[in-house]
């Protein structure tokens, strides 16, 4: 009988649930604040310790996030549970700092086309503004995580240079962030490109943890996660039921599903502290609310 080598993966992985933000922003039917609050509480009850609850963006461009301040004002306070909100510019950080949100995500694109669509700024302008955004958040005693959108490409894998992503990562780390997420916004990542990018980025991030925000546009989301696991990555964004996508990206698909990710991780005996069955209850509830099935698989079982 052949002897198979053991799979080398971390013993514990940290999942950030982005369903209440990224997951809802693609849906046309606006979710009432009360239902969002119930969803967030249900996710916390399932064991999620990190939940992204809102984005401070223009309410006309993204009506689903129009209640960001009202939602955050009503969030339940729990020990060992932290909430985050996404921002794209200095005005967004200013709004966030007027709330109690403890973690602020400074998000910018590694591609000019995506940056102009999503933030109305060139990539260079957004990178310059990120310094002021991070500084303001830190002055207001907030923890800062940063994300690089389209880190694996925008319209095609070759329109975003790995060296450019590396330079942006180094700049963001130098600004004082506590976590860096590389986002596969358009779902172009492959196992090979995950290895190539991480090999370039990890050496310039010092002690700042690096994670992945993966979309499943081409069906490689969990394959890419597995590749990253084997490179020692332990931080991942997921969305219940596979909800999500960027409204400013043509053909955008959802995030890797929280339940599907947990199924994989638990099959590898990796600790997460999250009850997938309780997350799935909320995926089914949202599927009923929106009137259509969600992209994820395991929530249906």
Catalytic residue, from 97, 150, 154, 246: name it. Answer: 246
Q: Write the secondary structure of 111-173 as one string of H (helix), E (strand) and C (coil).
A: CHHHHHHHHCCCHHHHHHHHHHHHHHHHHCCCEEEEEEECCCCCCCHHHCCHHHHHHHHHHHH
Gap between the Cα atoms of 236 and 214, Å rounded = 8
DSSP sequence for the chain = -PPPPPP---SB-EEEE-IIIIIHHT-SSPPPHHHHHHHHHHHHHTT--EEEEEEES-TTT-GGGTTHHHHHHTPPP-TT-EEEEEESSHHHHHHHHTS--SEEEEEEESSHHHHHHHHSS-HHHHHHHHHHHHHHHHHTT-EEEEEEETTT-SSSGGGS-HHHHHHHHHHHHHTT-SEEEEEETTS---HHHHHHHHHHHGGGSTTS-EEEEEB-TTS-HHHHHHHHHHTT--EEEEBGGG----TTSTT--PBPBHHHHHHHHHHTT-B----HHHHHHHHHHHHHHHTS--S-SGGG-
Q: Catalytic annotation on 246?
A: yes
Q: Which residues are catalytic?
A: 246
């Amino acid at each position: 009988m052949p002897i198979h080598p053991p799979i080398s993966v971390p013993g514990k992985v940290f999942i950030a649930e982005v369903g209440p933000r990224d997951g809802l922003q693609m849906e046309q039917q606006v979710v009432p604040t009360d239902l969002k609050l119930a969803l967030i509480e249900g996710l916390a009850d399932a064991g999620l310790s990190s939940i992204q609850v809102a984005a401070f963006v223009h309410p006309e461009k993204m009506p689903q996030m129009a209640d960001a301040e009202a939602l955050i004002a009503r969030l339940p306070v729990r020990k060992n549970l932290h909430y985050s909100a996404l921002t794209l510019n200095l005005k967004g950080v200013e709004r966030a700092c007027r709330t109690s949100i403890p973690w602020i995500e400074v998000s910018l694109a590694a591609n000019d086309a995506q940056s102009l669509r999503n933030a109305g700024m060139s990539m260079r302008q957004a990178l310059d503004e990120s310094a002021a955004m991070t500084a303001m958040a830190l002055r207001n005693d907030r923890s800062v995580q940063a994300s690089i959108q389209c880190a694996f490409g925008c319209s095609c894998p070759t329109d975003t240079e790995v060296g450019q992503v590396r330079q942006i990562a180094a700049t963001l780390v130098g600004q004082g962030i506590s976590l860096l997420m590389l986002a596969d916004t358009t779902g172009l990542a492959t196992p090979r490109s995950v290895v190539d990018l991480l090999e370039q980025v990890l050496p310039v991030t010092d002690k700042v943890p690096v994670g992945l925000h993966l979309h499943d546009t081409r069906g490689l989301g969990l394959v890419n996660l597995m590749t990253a696991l084997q490179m020692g990555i332990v931080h991942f964004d997921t969305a219940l039921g596979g909800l999500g996508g960027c409204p400013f990206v043509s053909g955008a698909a959802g995030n890797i599903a929280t339940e599907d990710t947990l199924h994989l991780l638990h099959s590898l005996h990796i600790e997460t502290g999250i009850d997938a069955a309780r997350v799935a209850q909320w995926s089914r509830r949202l599927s009923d609310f929106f009137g259509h099935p969600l992209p994820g698989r395991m929530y249906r079982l």
